Amino acid sequence: MNPANRLSKFTFASISTCLFIAISLLAAQAQDPPKKDAPSSEKHGIDVSKMDSTIRPGDDFYEYADGNWIKRTEIPPDRGGIGTFTTLDILSNKRTAALIEEAAKSGGAAGSSSRKIADLYNSYMNEAAIEAKGLTPIKPHLDSIAAIKDKHDLARALGETLRADVDALNNTNFHTANLFGLWVAPSFNDSEHYTAYLLQGGLQLPDREYYLADSQHMRDIRTKYQAHVSAMLKLAGFTDTAARAARIFELEHAIAEKHLRLDENDDIHKANNPWKQADFTTKAPGLDWPAYFRAAGLSKQKSFIVWQPTAFAAESALVASTPLDSWKDWLVYHFIEAHANFLPKTLVDERFDFFSKTLSGTPQQRPRWQRGVGIVNNYLGDEVGKIYAQRYFPPEAKAQAQAMVTNIIASFRKRIDDLAWMDPSTKAEAQAKLTTLYVGIGYPETWKDYSAYEVKADDIFGNVWRGNLWEYHRQVARLGKQIDRKEWSMTPQTVNAVNLPLQNALNFPAAILQPPFFDSEAPAAANYGGIGSVIGHEISHTFDSEGSAFDSKGRVRDWWKPADFEHFKQATAKLAAQYDTYKPFPDLSLNGNQTLAENIADVAGLAAAYDGFKASLSGKPAPAQDGFTADQQFFLAFAQVEASKSRDASLRQQVATDSHSPSRYRVATVRNVDAWYPAFDVKPGEKLYLAPPDRVLIW
């Protein structure tokens, strides 16, 4: 997520069947965005050319389904890895770039959506103007930090940096200039109204383990990180940068010691800590909380839910005990780091060298036009999304996807009814969650209004600053208001999917509803194994180790009979133990508890998608393809959308920080699904074989 990037906790790595051949060419081309989509493949359904038939499916189903693709695919120099999601993201970026280009050509009045899109994009693409301005845009902010004279001023400065996160259930840390983070969402305890959640922050490295783990790999990263901090400060005109970097790292190390681990952070019941504003001074002394809340524009907010109370108490104590100059250095560095990509090239390159080359092993930056598209998606995503959905997601595709959702939800209903171990009262609430579940397909029913967001054609730093502030004020204005259960957290051009447990809702953007996940001309087996497994995955999050804490109205409530929940915990503990045995590197294993929610969703979602596929046939036989039965196509399609290849540094970072298992181990979940065994004649003695009692069956 990161308590949250489910596919929103689903961060797949990615690739379109028809585009993976062209990936290296795309990554290496010039800065100008391509004008047209690549032609569609004539192939519909599973891709036999990806497979390695020399591998027994019962020994390594991932290599069997994707082995030849893995052998022949090169990771582009501007990526830490490549896979199905990556390639669809490249396609979505190409399309979005073309839409931006159209907006620029159409002109439009000042303040119009087309003019804002064009001006935002062009302000980033104008590198000469950025170089000419140098550090001038950030000088007033750095001067403000330099003027801090006491801890009262520090509290004000910290409050002024507070910004809002879109989905804290999928983000554990705020890696910007924030000591804490704000999330505005339905309350755990009043699901009809928005409330304010506060979350731990203050770290620039991806997770606490980067500061605390004792491996040689992490020690090397810490040494390089301090050198990077020093370099960024020097480029910004500061002196004595090595000593400043040491102080900044020491402070972040102290913060990291008090952060919750990823596996601890996902316990919703431990996160449900309502504090009145007056409680902060006594429960987390050290920070001038009244000054902090005034500066953050939250002085009238009477109560908050504090996700990590121990971290808040510890970080507040650090405000009091750490010298003021260390905090000022920390504020300066975090501010520079957060805005480096909108400053001169020397800062952009230094940031890339550490966070991409060192942490992810990525040797080359993405073309500037791709980065520009990302900025437009971030700050004007819905404006572009309106055009994207109209252009690339026809009503027929939406209707077909909705029919698949209906079948898979029906399969969940039947699975719940058939559970011998679950009490009727628990079943009734589980069924109620399915009845009230909102499933958004393609695009939202209402769009954001950006009329109050000012964009200037020659001011990328100001556009980003105003955009972040606009979003923060938009979020704060919602506090206490009635919730919109149909609100989306993603744009149509986003290649992802998400479960929103506080809304009891799912989002499937248009950009993921295309090959190889979804193809209106492909056999049902391929579509249910592809996008069907994603749909099942997201529905399953409604009942995973986190989603099971919420009732049908999105409230945190214990709706389980004790014996039922004990059975559920035993089954999920068995799954966590299974994933603990997987080792991507000799010195690094997966953490089954850290990835548990995602692994539950993979197992249950795949099984439900299989049932939905069978139901869609209405008793009729399904066609074979390329000599593979329909059941074989289903499981191969599931494995092929997971095809990915990562650099070692990127894979290590994923294992340390992600709630998702790497693709190889996500595919291995087939060993828990009974139907996979006869489909591929998997026998005892093969590496993935599990005896029936050892297979994890949850729903």
Mean pLDDT for 196-223 is 95
626: left (phi over 0), alpha (psi -120 to 50) or beta: left
Using pLDDT thresholds of 50, 70 and 90, give the confidence band for residue 18: very low
* Stronger pLDDT, 658 or 25, i.e. the higher one: 658
* Stronger pLDDT, 295 or 171, i.e. the higher one: 295
114: Cβ contacts below 8 Å, ≥ 6 apart:
103, 104, 106, 107, 108
Averaged pLDDT of the chain: 91
pLDDT at 7 exceeding the cut of 70: no
pLDDT at 491 exceeding the cut of 70: yes
d(CA 651, CA 319): 35
Q: Decide: 12 and 83 in contact? Cβ < 8 Å.
A: yes
Residue 497 — φ and ψ, nearest 5°? -155, 160
Using pLDDT thresholds of 50, 70 and 90, give the confidence band for residue 286: very high
pLDDT at 20 exceeding the cut of 90: no
Using pLDDT thresholds of 50, 70 and 90, give the confidence band for residue 34: very low
pLDDT at 671 exceeding the cut of 60: yes
pLDDT at 11 exceeding the cut of 90: no
Per DSSP, the residues of 373-401 read HHHHHHHHHHHHHHHHHHHH--HHHHHHH
Using pLDDT thresholds of 50, 70 and 90, give the confidence band for residue 412: very high
| 216 exposure class (CB count in 10 Å sphere: 0-12, 13-18, 19+) | exposed
Per DSSP, the residues of 14-28 read B--TTTGGGHHHHHH
CA-to-CA dists, residue 427 to 72, 126, 450, 543, 574, angstroms: 48, 58, 43, 12, 22
| DSSP three-state, residue 160 | helix
Strands 81-83 and 644-646: antiparallel
Task: Please tell me the least confidently modeled range out of 33-37, 52-56, 683-687.
Answer: 33-37
pLDDT at 8 exceeding the cut of 70: no
pLDDT in tens, 672-683: 999 999 999 999
Mean pLDDT for 256-274 is 91
pLDDT of residue 107: 74
Tokens representing residue 350 in the block? 């230094």
Peptide bond into 299 cis (omega under 30): no
109: Cβ contacts below 8 Å, ≥ 6 apart:
115
377: Cβ contacts below 8 Å, ≥ 6 apart:
96, 384, 491, 493, 494
* Stronger pLDDT, 469 or 31, i.e. the higher one: 469
Task: Please tell me the least confidently modeled range out of 18-32, 64-78, 349-363.
Answer: 18-32
Residue 486 — φ and ψ, nearest 5°? -100, 10
Scanning the structure block, which residue is given the tokens 């004007």? 380
pLDDT of residue 42: 67
pLDDT of residue 17: 24
d(CA 507, CA 23): 27
pLDDT of residue 166: 53
Residue 300 — φ and ψ, nearest 5°? -95, -5
Sign of the torsion formed by the C-alpha atoms of 426, 430, 431 and 435: positive
Scanning the structure block, which residue is given the tokens 């060419």? 25
Task: Please tell me the least confidently modeled range out of 19-28, 413-422, 436-445, 488-497.
Answer: 19-28
Which residue, 68, 51, 84, is CA-closest to 680? Answer: 51
Using alpha carbons only, give the angle 118, 120, 123 rounded to the nearest 5 degrees. 100
d(CA 204, CA 333): 10
d(CA 74, CA 70): 8
pLDDT at 577 exceeding the cut of 90: yes
pLDDT in tens, 427-472: 999 999 999 999 999 999 999 999 999 999 999 999 999 999 999 9
d(CA 125, CA 620): 55
pLDDT of residue 30: 34
588 - beta bridge partners? Answer: 585
pLDDT at 548 exceeding the cut of 70: yes
Using pLDDT thresholds of 50, 70 and 90, give the confidence band for residue 23: very low
pLDDT at 514 exceeding the cut of 60: yes
d(CA 327, CA 179): 10
pLDDT of residue 109: 86
pLDDT at 630 exceeding the cut of 60: yes
pLDDT at 290 exceeding the cut of 60: yes
Q: H or E element: which one contains 308?
A: none
Per DSSP, the residues of 401-454 read HHHHHHHHHHHHHHHHHT-TTS-HHHHHHHHHHHHH-EEEEES-SS----TT--
Q: Considering the chain, what percentage of its residues have pLDDT values greater than 90?
A: 86
pLDDT of residue 691: 98
Strands 180-186 and 164-165: parallel
pLDDT of residue 111: 84
Q: What is the pTM of this model?
A: 0.90
141: Cβ contacts below 8 Å, ≥ 6 apart:
335
CA-to-CA dists, residue 353 to 340, 346, 357, 503, 598, angstroms: 12, 11, 5, 40, 31
Q: How far is CA 104 from the centre of its chain?
A: 30
Question: Which domains does the chain carry?
Answer: 139-342 (1.10.1380.10)
Mean pLDDT for 197-215 is 94
| Distance between first and last Cα of the chain | 24
Peptide bond into 516 cis (omega under 30): yes
* Stronger pLDDT, 167 or 21, i.e. the higher one: 167
Amino acid at 626: D
Tokens representing residue 7 in the block? 């596919």
Tokens representing residue 150 in the block? 């006491």
Using pLDDT thresholds of 50, 70 and 90, give the confidence band for residue 22: very low
d(CA 388, CA 392): 6
| DSSP three-state, residue 612 | helix
At what angle are helices 460-477 and 324-339 packed, to 10 degrees?
A: 110
| DSSP three-state, residue 551 | coil
Of 265-269, 617-621, 675-679, which one has max mean pLDDT? 675-679
Q: Decide: 392 and 510 in contact? Cβ < 8 Å.
A: yes
d(CA 668, CA 688): 7
| DSSP three-state, residue 520 | coil
pLDDT of residue 12: 27
Instruction: Show contacts of 679-686: CB within 8 Å, 24+ apart.
Output: 679/629, 679/631, 679/632, 679/634, 679/635, 680/57, 680/58, 680/61, 680/632, 680/635, 681/58, 682/57, 682/58, 683/58, 686/56, 686/58, 686/59
d(CA 630, CA 613): 10
